[in-house]
Amino acid sequence: MKSRLLPLILLWFCAASWGSPTLPKRVVSLDYATTTTLIAMGLPPIAIADIDGYRRWVEHPRLPEHMVDLGGANEPNLELLAELKPDLILITPYQGHLTELLSQIAPVHSLSIYQSTGDAITKAERMTRELGQILGLNREAEALIADTLSHFEQQRKRLETTISPPLYMVRLHDDRHLWIYGDNSLGEATLQRLGIINAWQQPTNTWGFSAQSIDALNANTSASVLFLEPLPDGGINNVSLTPLWQHQTWYQQKRFHKVPVVLMFGALPSAQRMATLVVNALTEEAK
């Protein structure tokens, strides 16, 4: 289906300019992973969904000043969107219900990373190339891919003198409940490229996580735990006061770290940031 849609999108821009090919410049993104990729490729969107959410769950790359906030990703402000006169609106398959409404404003294209199983970075590379083709930024897309591969190699070299334990990558919801990232996740794909073993070897969903209780972190007694910010109110200091945490071996042995905000459902820019943050945590532990 997507292989047929891409030529149609390109044809639309050619037809709109009476035979003289034009490329979209005023792009709107309703997905954070797409937004980060656009910024990294040098064409920031003119508007995105839920700027506060971006600052809480993504943070990097920073949004340009004067970015327009369209509200919720699944219920964007259509009146404001129409006023912006975008050339292209980018969504994900999870926002497919919006296609008919959005297409009355501008051409709509859907990009996917987490709607199927498989290596998240490979799928992010594919998405980056697709975006480059649509926007006439093929060179920038290839540069971003090459830069990401180079970044992984640089971070891996930082670990050459460090013995890395297996790692759990965890999103904490309260003192008992969490998501553990494994197969299909950006975290798993990043750890693989760093040569680090993911301690979670159990099944996950297509988004790459499994909902578990805190006790699941005891399955691998040699593993360290990376808790991804943002954390619950009060942070680790608050939840760790509970008897449940006090009895966790990894907590008693201080085999855990807090990791600054990174988009776990992200694309190549988030993979780069994640690699840096993981290596920072491990090299700090080794000191």
Structure tokens at 79: 């009146």
User: Strand pairing partners for 69?
Assistant: 48
pLDDT the model gives residue 16: 46
pTM over 0.85: yes
| Residue burial 196-212, b: 16+ Cβ < 10 Å; e: rest | bebbbeeebeebbbbeb
Q: Which amino acid is at 240?
A: S
Least confident of 170-184, 205-219, 229-243, 244-258: 229-243
Please name the fold of domain 164-286.
Rossmann fold (3.40.50)
- In the chain, where the domains are located: 2-112, 164-286
The 8-class DSSP code of residue 258 comes to: E
Rounded distance, CA 70 to CA 28, Å?
A: 9
* Arithmetic mean of pLDDT, 44-53: 98
Q: In this structure, which topology does domain 2-112 adopt according to CATH?
A: Rossmann fold (3.40.50)
Strand order in the sheet with 27-29: 68-69, 47-48, 27-29, 88-91, 108-110
β-pairing, 88-91 with 27-29? Answer: parallel
- Omega before 232 cis (within 30°)? no
Q: Is the pLDDT of residue 136 over 50?
A: yes
Q: What is the pLDDT of residue 3?
A: 45
3-29 pLDDT, tens digit each: 445 555 555 554 444 444 689 999 999
**How many contiguous H segments (helices) and E segments (strands) does the chain have?**
12, 12
Residue 80 pLDDT: 98
Neighbouring CB atoms inside 10 A of 50's CB total 18
The beta strand positions in 46-176, using DSSP E, are 47-48, 68-69, 71-72, 75-76, 88-91, 108-110, 167-172
Does the pLDDT value for residue 166 go beyond 50?
yes
pLDDT at 19: 46
Supply the pLDDT for residue 170.
97
Q: DSSP characters for 185-251?
A: SHHHHHHHHHT--BS--S---TTSEEEEEGGGGGSSTT-EEEEESSPSTTHHHHHTTSHHHHT-HHH
Q: Is the confidence at residue 279, as pLDDT, over 60?
A: yes
Of 245, 73, 258, 99, give the one whose Cα is nearest residue 170.
258
Q: Per-residue confidence at 284, pLDDT binned at 50, 70, 90?
A: confident
pLDDT of residue 251: 92
Tell me whether the CATH fold assigned to 2-112 matches the one assigned to 164-286.
yes
